[in-house]
Chains A and B, each alone.
Chain A
Amino acid sequence: MKIVEKKILVDLPGTKVTQIKVIAPHIAAKALPGEFIVLMVHAKSERIPLTIVESDSKEGTITIIFQEAGLSTKLLGRLNVGDSLFALVGPLGHHTEIKNYGKVILVGGGVGIAEIYPVAVALKKAGNHVTTILGARTKDILILEKELKSASDELYITTDDGSYGIKGFTTDVLRQLLSKDKYALVYAVGPIPMMKKVSAVTLEFKVKTLVSLNALMVDGTGMCGCCRVTVGGEVKFTCVDGPEFDGHICDWAELEKRNKVYTCKEKHICTLDEALK
């Protein structure tokens, strides 16, 4: 559970994204694309789920990428090489079904780009024609461009402010691609509004769409039901039934609301933390 590498990918006011490599031989030996871990920074910390971005079974390490949002990710960001996590468990959730689908599109938004990376690598290896669309608010917060370029046959980049790539949203490019050619699968990870929009567009074109949901969790093993979501009218637990679901039938409004249930408490604890610093 010791951190052996740390890279700050983005360090701008209000947006800090960090990549760490952690020693976890048992998890590295089993990890597959799409799976996640649950970790605790300190003994008094929350349990938080994070996607496994890369795993190296020879080296016995896993890599995770996180954006500092609440206190837990801030504390995680303060750990340095040589520090150890308090707890780390995994791999959790179902892995992505990797096979040769034919032509696939991967859409990553914000820190969700980190989550599509292992899937892109695996799909490419399985013989798929991989088209990747990355979206970021602005140029300086775009992550893993180089890595995804080498994992994709085609790469498109969009920024909200036009500072890099195409000005606009990932869904603009997605719509153009889908109207020109046939694709077997769209795989999208990013902020809820993005995944929701992607799913709406692909539904028009009737293309199978998988999304990886970022519901709040506690144990991550099906014990608590904190991460329950409605998919196709049925209650599912993101941790053990997901985290990937059919984007066309997810109840996005419900997920959006459930993810905000501790906003007040999060603000309070972050203010306290600032005051202590």
Chain B
Amino acid sequence: MKKPIPIKELSPGKRGVCFDEVVLGYTEPEAIEEASRCLQCKVPLCSKGCPVGIDIKQFIAHIAKKDYKAAYLTIKEKNNFPAICGRVCPAEYQCRKACVLTKKGSPFASEQAINIHFLERFASGFGTKEMAKASMEKIPELTSKKVAVVGAGPAGLCCAGELARKGVQVTVFESLHDTGGVLRYGIPPFRLPRNILDFEIECLKEYGVKIVPNYIIGKTKMLDELFKEGFSAVFLGLGAGIPSFLGVPGENLCNIYSANEFLTRVNLMSAFKFPEYHTPVNVGKRMIVIGGGNTAMDAARVAIRLQRMNGIEPNTSIFYRRTEVEMPARRLEIEHAKEEGVKFEFLVQPLGFTGDKDGNVQKMKCVRCELGEPDASGRRRPVPIKGGEFETDCDVVVIATGLQANVVLTQVTPELKVDKHKDIIVDPETMQTSMKGVYAGGDIVGGEGTVIEAMGMGKKAAKAIIDYLKSK
């Protein structure tokens, strides 16, 4: 069995002082070699691991035969955003974990598994706007129908693309001044370069998708008004809106950020280019990120870059209450964070913060934990150790422990049924909500998921919306 082809990366030294992309991608010979490792299973398991069901076996075969355009179009059939997914998908928990080369029972993909995401990324480099346009499959009876999509994040954009490809007139309403949702405000440019994101969204416009920024459904316009204005159906990709805090004393001290705020300042508002860009972010000498997901890794990697870029001795730590194995983050992000100098403190739980007279955070009080019985998530629960309290210095803290539902629209739309987490209740088959003609997907439906899961829901909803439009 041939060894997997490693991916080229920017050296940790170089990437420390900039926001350039870290993963550099395969060269053509590397991609062909990696593609030719694929066993081309009779019954491929990989596609079952893909939330949008890309014909992985097929596109890899195309790459091996150097037919990159065909590889690109094969992916495009199921996924409108190959360049994005090839970069941000947690492939080791999805297609690569399903790959036959992954050892049975492994919690994530084995190293031997085909580097499907890197191949997807390679193929995505061959996409052009013309090809996007050519892949339209207009259904004549749908071309007079209008559908509104609320939120220009992964779920909304995916749904919009699927509908527009079939000829539906789609308008996407976005509350922020720029598109992409979490892809832009959450994921840093060194993981997803902005020109790549812009290109994928530009391709949607080729299908005729209209995007209206600075427009909040639930504030600027109500849901029922959209129907009155002639939209036949609405898709809600509202996202997980409100950041969770820890609920410990001292949490409102200055320089304690939610990951959403910290990352939005840096990614969406480009605070890493302050003062050229005017939004500031405070960079500390001792920065702590709390959490173990991708957002925590992103925040820590942003923090340590900002320290270096500001001439501060890098000192950024991630504090997580379980161990590395339980971390929900992509393995690659954890490795990258380590390479870049981020330190990890496992089995620690924050108890509170204290600050100076001006209200700036100075110290964090924590308790050491051990792993107990598995909790509802199936992961072993951290249990505080008696007498395990300690204090640590910090001057900037980022809390990356999750998000709650965005309630801007649901709280003014009582007809829209929500569950106890205030997530919108949908029929899992069609993504239809309690309101006729209204569908939802992404984080506003199942809490926090991945980009590709959100896209999967957007796609499923698009299919149901098309059936609904046809039946009208």
Which residues of A approach B to under 8 Å, CB–CB?
26-27, 30, 40, 44-47, 71-72, 86-92, 218-219, 221-226, 228-230, 235, 237, 240, 251, 253-254, 257-258, 260-262, 265-266, 268-269, 272
**Do A222 and B242 have beta carbons less than 8 Å apart?**
yes
Q: List the B side residues contacting A46 at CB < 8 Å.
A: 269, 278-279
Interface size of B as a range: 35 or more
| Cross-interface CB contact of B252 among A26, A86, A235, cutoff 8 Å | A235
**Do B177 and A87 have beta carbons less than 8 Å apart?**
yes
With CB as the reference atom, state the residue of chain A lying closest to B260.
A224
Q: How far is the CA of A222 from the CA of B242 in the complex (A)?
A: 6
Q: How far is the CA of A222 from the CA of B422 in the complex (A)?
A: 14
Interface of B is mostly: loop
**Do B252 and A228 have beta carbons less than 8 Å apart?**
yes
Q: How far is the CA of A120 from the CA of B197 in the complex (A)?
A: 47
Q: Which 9 A-B pairs have the closest CB atoms?
A: A257-B359, A224-B261, A87-B177, A265-B280, A89-B214, A225-B258, A261-B254, A269-B275, A44-B277
Q: List the A side residues contacting B221 at CB < 8 Å.
A: 26, 30
**What are 26 A-to-B residue pairs whose CB atoms are below 8 Å?**
A26-B220, A44-B270, A46-B269, A46-B279, A47-B279, A89-B175, A92-B216, A219-B175, A221-B175, A222-B242, A222-B408, A223-B242, A224-B261, A224-B264, A225-B243, A225-B245, A225-B261, A230-B252, A240-B407, A251-B252, A260-B254, A261-B254, A262-B282, A265-B282, A268-B275, A269-B274
**Do A27 and B220 have beta carbons less than 8 Å apart?**
yes
Q: Closest approach, in angstroms, between the C-beta of A73 and any C-beta of chain B? A: 11
Q: List the A side residues contacting B269 at CB < 8 Å.
A: 46-47, 218
Output the residue of B175, B261, B269, B407 with the most chain A CB within 10 A: B261
Q: List the A side residues contacting B358 at CB < 8 Å.
A: 257, 260
Q: How far is the CA of A260 from the CA of B358 in the complex (A)?
A: 9
**Do B254 and A223 have beta carbons less than 8 Å apart?**
no
Q: List the B side residues contacting A221 at CB < 8 Å.
A: 175, 216, 219, 241, 406, 408
**Do A72 and B278 have beta carbons less than 8 Å apart?**
yes
Q: List the B side residues contacting A257 at CB < 8 Å.
A: 254, 358-359
Which residues of B approach A to under 8 Å, CB–CB?
175-177, 185, 213-216, 219-221, 241-243, 245, 251-252, 254-255, 257-258, 260-261, 264-265, 269-270, 274-280, 282, 358-360, 406-408
Given contacts A44-B278, A225-B257, A261-B282, 17 further A-B contacts (CB under 8 A): A30-B221, A47-B279, A86-B177, A87-B214, A88-B214, A90-B219, A218-B261, A219-B175, A221-B216, A224-B264, A226-B257, A228-B252, A235-B252, A258-B252, A258-B254, A268-B275, A269-B280
Q: List the A side residues contacting B406 at CB < 8 Å.
A: 221-223
Q: How far is the CA of A24 from the CA of B37 in the complex (A)?
A: 58
**Do B261 and A235 have beta carbons less than 8 Å apart?**
no
Q: List the A side residues contacting B185 at CB < 8 Å.
A: 223
Q: List the B side residues contacting A272 at CB < 8 Å.
A: 275
Q: List the B side residues contacting A254 at CB < 8 Å.
A: 252, 359
Q: List the B side residues contacting A265 at CB < 8 Å.
A: 274-275, 280, 282
| Cross-interface CB contact of A89 among B177, B254, B407, cutoff 8 Å | B177
Q: List the A side residues contacting B245 at CB < 8 Å.
A: 225, 228, 235
Output the residue of B242, B265, B360 with the most chain A CB within 10 A: B242
Q: How far is the CA of A88 from the CA of B360 in the complex (A)?
A: 32
Q: Closest approach, in angstroms, between the C-beta of A39 and any C-beta of chain B? A: 9
Query: Assuming the A-B contacts A218-B279, A223-B243, A225-B245, are A89 and B252 also in contact, with contact meaning beta carbons closer than 8 angstroms in the complex?
Result: no
Q: Closest approach, in angstroms, between the C-beta of A173 and any C-beta of chain B? A: 32
Q: How far is the CA of A221 from the CA of B177 in the complex (A)?
A: 12
Q: List the B side residues contacting A47 at CB < 8 Å.
A: 177, 269, 279
With CB as the reference atom, state the residue of chain A lying closest to B255.
A261
| Cross-interface CB contact of B220 among A30, A223, A224, A258, cutoff 8 Å | A30
Q: How far is the CA of A227 from the CA of B211 in the complex (A)?
A: 28
Q: How far is the CA of A46 from the CA of B269 in the complex (A)?
A: 7
Q: How far is the CA of A162 from the CA of B274 in the complex (A)?
A: 42
**Do B260 and A225 have beta carbons less than 8 Å apart?**
yes
**Do A226 and B261 have beta carbons less than 8 Å apart?**
yes
Q: How far is the CA of A92 from the CA of B218 in the complex (A)?
A: 10
Q: How far is the CA of A27 from the CA of B277 in the complex (A)?
A: 27
Q: Closest approach, in angstroms, between the C-beta of B376 and any C-beta of chain A? A: 25
**Do A258 and B251 have beta carbons less than 8 Å apart?**
no
Q: List the B side residues contacting A240 at CB < 8 Å.
A: 242, 407-408
**Do A223 and B214 have beta carbons less than 8 Å apart?**
no
Output the residue of A46, A88, A223 with the most chain B CB within 10 A: A223
Q: List the B side residues contacting A30 at CB < 8 Å.
A: 219-221
**Do A44 and B276 have beta carbons less than 8 Å apart?**
yes
With CB as the reference atom, state the residue of chain A lying closest to B276.
A44
Q: How far is the CA of A257 from the CA of B408 in the complex (A)?
A: 28
With CB as the reference atom, state the residue of chain B lying closest to A257.
B359
